[in-house]
Amino acid sequence: MSFTSKFSEGIYKGTYPEEKVSTWKDIGEIQREQHPYPADPFSLEVPRPDGKLRPTHFTVKVPPNTLVVYYPNPDDHSIFSPFRPGETVLYLGEIEHMRGHGAFVDREGKVRYGYHVWNFRVIPEEEV
């Protein structure tokens, strides 16, 4: 099966091949993923004092200073964007009170903030 790029010819330029990057999870997807708490088969679930049950799942945040690859939908990318598709940038974290938006450091060392986190794919540990 052959891979077809979602960008027009010559737009994607990155260290990692686009076919591989397209399979990685984006920041938003990782932060929405539900992980079950490990269950102890020998304990009984006891409600909290307010009557609610303890949560059964948790989510994780992508830690600051994570290397990510800019891989947007073609509709989200413009020629005026400071990032190029396929560019590796540094994720500084999600902006407080702006859910789904993050701060990033581009190739020139400038901090860019307010960009959607779902346009950035997290590089797996074995690839770094």
Q: Are 52 and 44 in contact (CB under 8 A)?
A: no
Per the prediction, the chain carries an average pLDDT of 88
What pLDDT is stored for residue 1 in this prediction?
Answer: 53
pLDDT at residue 7 above 90? no
The pTM assigned to this predicted structure is 0.84
Per-residue pLDDT, averaged over 7-15, amounts to 85
Q: Are 69 and 123 in contact (CB under 8 A)?
A: yes
Residue 122 lies in a domain: yes
Q: Which amino acid is at 100?
A: G
Which CATH number covers residue 71?
2.30.30
pLDDT in tens, 15-38: 999 999 999 999 999 999 998 888
Range from 44-48, 100-104, 110-114, 124-128 carrying the lowest mean pLDDT: 44-48
Number of domains present in the structure of the chain: 1
Residue 32 lies in a domain: no
Per the structure, the complete domain to which residue 97 belongs is given by 18-27+62-127
Which residues in 64-97 are b (16+ Cβ under 10 Å) and which e? eebebbbbbeeeebeeebebebbbbbbbbbbeee
